[in-house]
Amino acid sequence: MPVERGPCGEKVGKALDVEPQEAMLKSGKKVEGVYIRWLISGKDGAPTFAMRLFTAEPDAHIPSHRHPWEHEIYVLRGSMRVKIGGKDYEVSAGSFIYIPPNIDHEYFIGKDGVEFLCIIPLKPSVDESYDPCGRNAE
């Protein structure tokens, strides 16, 4: 089924019909072995969220990074270790993850690779001074 667009802005399709793109860090550096399919984005008229499908090859690594928006992740297949704010979490198919904004996080992909959905807001959800761990609290 090809991706279809309807008269009211709706978009319906199969994920595999969306062309994968190489994952890039904000710095512009390519993340080896990691691909993103932008299933729904602002380009589709979505006003609030983007839905992305990540596919990562075995033993790939997404380096530590942070940004002023959260992630909501659902693991579809495979496994990975996710480091969030210095704490490691082992996740696999059926796991969900919430990563708050402005917290360092990185991904260590398992031996069988991984596929996960990642939902993000289209605009930053907080400013750069927001500290989800409360370390800036007085």
3-state secondary structure 7-75: CCCCEECCHHHCCCEEEECCCCCEEEEEEEEEEECHHHCCCCEEEEEEEECCCCEEEEECCCCCEEEEE
- Which structural domain range is residue 78 located in? 17-121
Q: 54 in a domain, yes or no?
A: yes
Q: 3 in a domain, yes or no?
A: no
- The domain that holds 46 is classified in CATH as 2.60.120.10
Q: Given its phi and psi angles, is residue 102 left (phi above 0), alpha (psi -120 to 50 degrees) or beta?
A: left
pTM of the complete model: 0.91
pLDDT higher than threshold 70 for residue 136 = no
User: What pLDDT band is residue 137 in, cutting at 50, 70 and 90?
Assistant: low
Of 73, 84, 80, the residue nearest 106 (C-alpha): 84
Q: 67 in a domain, yes or no?
A: yes
Predicted pLDDT at 134? 78
